[in-house]
Amino acid sequence: MRDVNRTIDAVWRLEAPRIIAGLARLVNDVGLAEELAQDALVAALEQWPDQGVPDNPGAWLMSVAKRRGIDRIRREQTFARKVEEIGQALEAETEMPEPDEIADDLLRLVFTACHPVLSRPARIALTLRMLGGLGTDEIARAFLVPEATVAQRIVRAKKTLSASGVPFEAPQGPERAARLDSVLEVVYLIFNEGYVATAGSDWLRVDLCQEALRLGRLLAGIAPREPEVHGLVALMEIQASRTRARIGADGAPIPLPEQDRARWDRLLIARGFAALLRAQELGAPSGPYVLQAAIAACHAQAATAEETDWEQIAGLYELLVRVAPSPVVQVNRAFALGMAFGPRRGLDVLDALADEPSMANYHLLPSVRGDLLARLGDRADAAREFARAARLTRNDAERAVLEKRASELS
Amino acid sequence: MRFLMMTVDDGTPQGPVDDELQARMGAFIAEMSRSGALLATGGLDPRATHIVAKDGKAEIVDGPFSESKEFVAGFALVETRSEEEAIELCRGFWAIVGSGRGTIQRVYGPDGD
């Protein structure tokens, strides 16, 4: 006999997003929808251990949540009219919605959870809570913050959405692109939080990559006409394919050229390529995620580091720097140019960045400069740059790698 | 975590696969893909070539194409957060198919993760 609480937990994680999304459409309030869904979860925890898990647990949870909604509305007669409308909506819909309706509801939910009236940490917490079915304790552990902070963040976020009168809808027209950017940013922030977690970290942190990937795949299913959604999925699939290869047995990060490519996950690479192809087939000019995915795909395609098509990568960085100009992209572009056309070309790009204030404490700049100088044969200057990069990085494992390179050259 | 779900065909007569069942199965697979859980799925040819290796030498011992009494008829590779989630997905599958037998096994990577 399996632990029924673990089954309830699994059902909840699978069903919560749809239930919250469906309720939010009926009551036009994400916060209220989430509370009703939680009420249903409590009812399941009370009843299922004795009565067994129902045949269709999702429908069970949904109908209990709706009943709780109606009860609650009857008790709160003060908001008479609004309440009556909601009550009718809850009572009217008895069937489970069709798959397309569920997809629309989920899209509305993700757009609402990532609404720009909320702070970034609040968007992340709400998204994980409502689309990932994660508890506040899990979110807190994954992001290394106290549980009370996350709980408060979620309560405030729900109040803000309600007070700002944010409608439960997927924006159309000119607003859509900016709002979609926010959704993609949230998903990629979650992915990166997991990606920077080291081998010894709490597995919940590392699992954030998996969660972000799941969210991205879900998004691609419910917004299939958006090339950047497929671009982000492709980028995450390909990055995740290197998980096993990118950390050494000692916990130190292994740079891409030195990774054992046999340990890259071919299934994820294939999925990444398929997602990239879907993005490109939509025919729009490539956005930042599609371009980054294309760069990742170039690396994935090379059987050995020496076979990397640096000219193509440098070309993609030229496009990326135009659609998403940032000093960080410039540093990566400099590295690619150096690999494709010789270190001089890369150093020229870095020299132009020297006065950029945001670059003053960015460890990757001296690290790439050190690499390019070493390839020019300028060992003393290269060692100095690596030592500088080592002082700037906040990651212990990375610092050790940089210090080693500095001492090898001096 | 990855799990491989397999359905076993042991010769028990199955009901006819009508349009309705096919439509429901199509919708189920679409939903599993959409939720990000389904990584790969397929049906297997009952005709199998059996191979046995001894001291590094592989030999075909049966077939090509022998029909076994019992064989894996279909598979789905899923990615979930727990075994319980995989089991719940499996329940959804059997709710559509009706009767039969299957297995769920955890899939480990080359390094055992």
**pLDDT level of residue A193 (50, 70, 90 thresholds):** confident
Cβ contacts of A56 on chain B, cutoff 8 Å: 95
- pLDDT for A141 equals 87
pLDDT of residue A282: 96
Is B42 touching A (CB cutoff 8 A)? no
Quickly list DSSP for A274-328.
Answer: HHHHHHHHT-PPP-HHHHHHHHHHHHHH-SSGGG--HHHHHHHHHHHHHHS--HH
Nearest beta carbon to residue B88 from set A11, A207, A216: A11
The yes-or-no verdict on residue A264 having pLDDT over 70 is: yes
Predicted local confidence at residue A247, as pLDDT: 82
Instruction: Kindly report the nearest CA distance between residue A341 and chain B, in angstroms.
Output: 37
A53 within 8 A of A60, measured Cβ to Cβ:
no
User: How far off is chain A from B73, nearest CA to CA, in Å?
Assistant: 22
How many CB pairs below 8 A link A and B?
66
Give tens-digit pLDDT for A84-136.
666 676 777 666 677 778 888 999 999 999 999 999 999 999 999 999 888 89
The proportion of chain A whose per-residue pLDDT surpasses 70, expressed as a percent, equals 92
**Identity of the amino acid at B110:** P
Question: Distance of CA B38 to CAs A13, A124, B28, B75, Å?
Answer: 16, 24, 10, 11
Which residue of B27, B35, B111 is in closest CB contact with A218? Answer: B35
Residue of A nearest to B95 (CA): A55
CA nearest neighbour of A363 among A382, A390, A381: A390
Whole-number average pLDDT of chain A: 89
Find all residues with CB under 8 Å of A277, minimum gap 6, and list them: none
A388 touches chain B (CB under 8 A): no
Which residue numbers in chain B have pLDDT < 70?
63-67, 110-113
Task: Give strand ranges (E) for chain B.
Answer: 2-9, 38-43, 47-54, 57-67, 71-79, 101-107
Decide if A15 contacts B85 (C-beta within 8 A): no
In a 10 Å sphere around its CB, with 0-12 CB exposed, 13-18 middle and 19+ buried, how is residue A346 labelled? Answer: buried
Distance CA A231, CA A239 (A): 12
The more confidently predicted of residues A151 and A79 is: A151
* The pLDDT of residue A10: 92
pLDDT in tens, A310-354: 999 999 999 999 999 988 899 999 999 999 999 999 999 999 888
pLDDT of residue A342: 95
Contact A53, A16 (CB under 8 A): no
Smallest CA–CA distance from B28 into chain A, residue: A99
CATH number for the region B2-107 comes to 3.30.70.1060
Confidence of residue A201 (pLDDT cuts 50, 70, 90): low
Contacts of A55 in chain B (CB under 8 A): 95
CATH number assigned to the domain covering A337-410: 1.25.40
Whether the per-residue pLDDT at A199 is higher than 60: the answer is: no
pLDDT of the residue at B18: 85
Classify A295 in phi/psi space as left (phi over 0), alpha (psi -120 to 50) or beta.
alpha
Residue A390 pLDDT > 60: yes
Domain boundaries, chain B: 2-107
Cβ of B109 under 8 Å from any chain A Cβ?
Answer: yes
Predicted local distance difference test score (pLDDT) of residue A81 = 57
B85 touches chain A (CB under 8 A): yes
Give the minimum alpha-carbon distance from A48 to chain B in angstroms, rounded to a whole number.
Answer: 15
The position carrying tokens 């199965």 is B25
Distance of alpha carbon A258 from alpha carbon A358, whole angstroms: 29
Residue entry with tokens 């799925």 = B41
pLDDT at B30: 86
Task: Select from A1, A7, A107, A138 the residue whose CB has the most chain B CBs within 10 Å, as the one to mutate to test that interface.
Answer: A7
- pLDDT for A371-384, tens place per residue? 999 999 999 999 99
Q: Which of B77, B88, B111 sits opposite A14 (nearest CB)?
A: B88
**pLDDT value at A154 more than 50:** yes
